[in-house]
Structure 1
Amino acid sequence: MPSTLTEATDPFCLRPGESAALLRGHPWRRFVVLGDSVAEGLCEPVAGYPEVQWADRIAAELRAAGPGLAYLNLGRRGLRAHEVRATQLDAALAFAPDLALVVCGGNDAFRASYDPDAVDAQMTAMVTAMRTAGADVITVGMFDVSHSPAVPAALRAGLGERMRLLSARTGRLAGRLGALHVHLTDHPAVADPSLYSSDGRHGSARSDAIAAAETVRRLGAHLAASRRAPQGP
């Protein structure tokens, strides 16, 4: 991508008025976020992109379309999936959300000992609890950080395989449990170095802008489908 690219000219970011059109009349009033550093937001600065992490961006877009939205971000860096469930699920439920973003498993997948079944079990418990409480739930197939130039070449293949497995399994889990899934792993920009931070583990302000755009578009598609669905008697 050109070095002069900014959020206003980035073809993958939200266009003026797009979010308002997609989210107009949305029903959500209480938005909670559970997860690790991706949820907390550790976006590295990129010239031309505001330093606003993606969950905060989503909350801002929802609030613009529905003033009065309550927002709670419980995300904390370094947590594995079982730690997210143990330390955040009760607080998330106590918040009584009608929309929840659950994003974790990346810290598990960074390890060669990654256990997909164990992560699935934790994700299933959290998504099921949120759905049972009446919330719509968003899950995410994250950008494949193995494309980051900061990841040592010898580690890229194994990390990429695990990240893609995590993404695929999270997508299947979301479909099974009725969650809204945002698939970023095969995004057209996934191999662009500007998406990744210099630590080889996190994203940049550009990746957060793109992730927020894709999440808003997924929410908009859900709202459009709900409006088209036949109404009961």
Structure 2
Amino acid sequence: MGNGYLRFAALGDSTTVGLGDPVPGGGWRGWARLLAESLRTSYDVSFCNVAVSGATAGVVRERQLDEALAHRPDLASLLVGVNDTLRSTWDPERLRADLLHVAGALTDGGATLMTVRWHDHGALLGLPRVLTRPMGERIAVVNEVYDELHAAYGGLRLDLALMPEVLDRTCWSIDRFHPSELGHRALARAWAERLQAEGYDFPLPGREPCGGCPPSWRRDVAWMVTEGAPWFGRRARDLGPWAVRRALAAAR
């Protein structure tokens, strides 16, 4: 695919915001920006990241979609759904409706979709399987929706469960929910490989850390105290009682 003007919109939650990949002076970079930077070596890229930490599929539909459509993207990444599984308001039918609406609007606008199949986040937390199984069941439902979405609208997709980096601890932040800089680089590179297979001509993003903040246990601990622990606390209050009930029912 020849060089030219390329519009890229990134929609989703904290993974697309870039949490886990800090930059000097504050803020986050993340896989989407890394990918955009690599594309810029060959294309005139207009990059729009409308992702928001904590976003659900409904938030993407209500608060991100219009801005993304206004960007008139050629490429549109849609990575969301995990936060839906962590809430007591979990509603598979609403999730399906929201994701299909967003995907349809983006493709109708001329964008090539970039979507994922999620890995089992709960399995990485080191908790007893009886507690993480309920979350895994919800992730499976989200993946079924993404399968339907891909069958209906096509595009590119990445099966995270098949990426060896998912099992590499260095590719995860201290919370094991968000990629580290290495994890974000692995995501950017995997997407770049798929774009190259579609005819895009540009160099792959590098695998090694470059230009971000070096790893720091002090920064990791500070993040866990100020951001991570409160987040886990909110999710525990929201999802915990349901998970415990499911675990007790499964043990009977």
Q: In the superposition, relative to structure 1, how do residues 176 and 128 fare at CA in structure 2: closer, same or farther (>3 Å)?
A: same
Aligned to 1:152: 127
Aligned to 1:216: 192
Aligned to 1:56: 33
Q: Which runs of 5+ in 2 are unaligned?
A: 23-27, 201-252
Is the 1:31–1:100 contact (alpha carbons within 8 Å) kept by the matching residues of 2? yes
Q: Does 1:34 align with 2:6?
A: no
- Whole-angstrom distance in 2 between the partners of 1:135 and 1:44: 27
Is the 2:21–2:184 contact (alpha carbons within 8 Å) kept by the matching residues of 1? no
The residue correspondences of 1:124-163 to structure 2 (distance < 5 A) are 124-149=100-125, 152-153=127-128, 155-163=131-139
- Whole-angstrom distance in 1 between the partners of 2:144 and 2:168: 21
CA deviation after TM superposition for structure 1 residue 158, in Å: 2.3
Q: Deviations over 1:183-229 (max 9, x none)?
A: 112322323322322224322222211111111111122228xxxxx
Q: Deviations over 1:70-93 (max 9, x none)?
A: 101001101111011100111111
Is the 2:113–2:155 contact (alpha carbons within 8 Å) kept by the matching residues of 1? yes
Q: Deviations over 1:148-177 (max 9, x none)?
A: 34x533532222332243234313311221
Q: In the superposition, relative to structure 1, how do residues 200 and 219 fare at CA in structure 2: closer, same or farther (>3 Å)?
A: same
Question: How many residues get paired?
Answer: 194
Q: In the superposition, relative to structure 1, how do residues 73 and 202 fare at CA in structure 2: closer, same or farther (>3 Å)?
A: same
Aligned to 1:80: 56
Is the 1:33–1:102 contact (alpha carbons within 8 Å) kept by the matching residues of 2? yes
Secondary structure class of the residue paired with 2:199:
helix
CA deviation after TM superposition for structure 1 residue 144, in Å: 3.0
CA deviation after TM superposition for structure 1 residue 102, in Å: 1.1
Q: In the superposition, relative to structure 1, how do residues 187 and 41 fare at CA in structure 2: closer, same or farther (>3 Å)?
A: same
- Whole-angstrom distance in 2 between the partners of 1:98 and 1:195: 29
- Whole-angstrom distance in 2 between the partners of 1:188 and 1:200: 15
Partner AA of 2:192 in structure 1? V
Aligned to 1:20: none
Please give the root-mean-square deviation of Cα atoms over the aligned residues, in Å: 2.3
Taking structure 1 as the reference length, the TM-score comes to: 0.74
Q: In the superposition, relative to structure 1, how do residues 171 and 57 fare at CA in structure 2: closer, same or farther (>3 Å)?
A: farther
Is the 2:117–2:157 contact (alpha carbons within 8 Å) kept by the matching residues of 1? yes
Among 123, 147, 153, the residue aligned to 2:99: 123
Q: Does 1:193 align with 2:169?
A: yes
Q: Deviations over 1:18-75 (max 9, x none)?
A: xxxxxx6356611111111111110257xxxxx8410011111111121x21101001
Among 144, 148, 151, the residue aligned to 1:175: 151
Partner AA of 1:216 in structure 2? A
Taking structure 2 as the reference length, the TM-score comes to: 0.69
> If you compute each CA radius of gyration, which structure gives the higher value, 1 or 2?
2
Q: How many percent identity over aligned positions?
A: 32
Q: Which runs of 5+ in 1 are unaligned?
A: 1-23, 46-50, 225-233
CA deviation after TM superposition for structure 1 residue 147, in Å: 3.4
